[in-house]
């Protein structure tokens, strides 16, 4: 199972950023970012790399580890 959808939502909420703020930082529209968070579109590898760097997690963690349970903090 891949967890990137849940993880990006969790990580964004954990730092207290809006979808708009994160989308602006990534250089994409809020609508596009929202589709990634809700699983309506799959982000290209370039965006996944930016997200992993932005949040300080590896691509492997972003995709394969449920960070909500690993970090012990509810989203």
- Residue 71: phi, psi to the nearest 5? -85, -15
CATH code for the domain of 12: 1.10.260.40
Residue at 19 is within a domain? yes
Residue at 26 is within a domain? yes
Query: Residue 8 and residue 33: Cα distance in Å, rounded?
Result: 10
Query: Residue 34 and residue 37: Cα distance in Å, rounded?
Result: 5
Question: What band does 3 get if pLDDT is binned at 50, 70 and 90?
Answer: very high
Length of the chain: 75
Residue at 74 is within a domain? no
pLDDT digits (tens, 9 = 90+) for 39-75: 999 999 999 999 999 999 999 999 999 999 875 544 4
Instruction: Decide if pLDDT at 30 tops 70.
Output: yes
Query: Residue 22 and residue 47: Cα distance in Å, rounded?
Result: 11
Which is more confidently placed, 26 or 69? 26
Residue at 73 is within a domain? no
Boundaries of domain holding 52? 4-68
Number of domains in the chain: 1
């Amino acid at each position: 199972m891949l967890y990137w959808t849940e993880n990006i939502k969790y990580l964004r909420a954990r730092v207290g950023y809006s979808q708009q703020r994160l989308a602006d930082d990534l250089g994409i529209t809020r609508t596009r970012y929202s589709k990634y968070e809700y699983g309506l579109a799959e982000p290209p590898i370039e965006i996944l790399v930016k997200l992993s760097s932005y949040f300080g997690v590896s691509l492997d963690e972003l995709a394969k580890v449920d960070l909500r349970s690993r970090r012990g903090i509810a989203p």
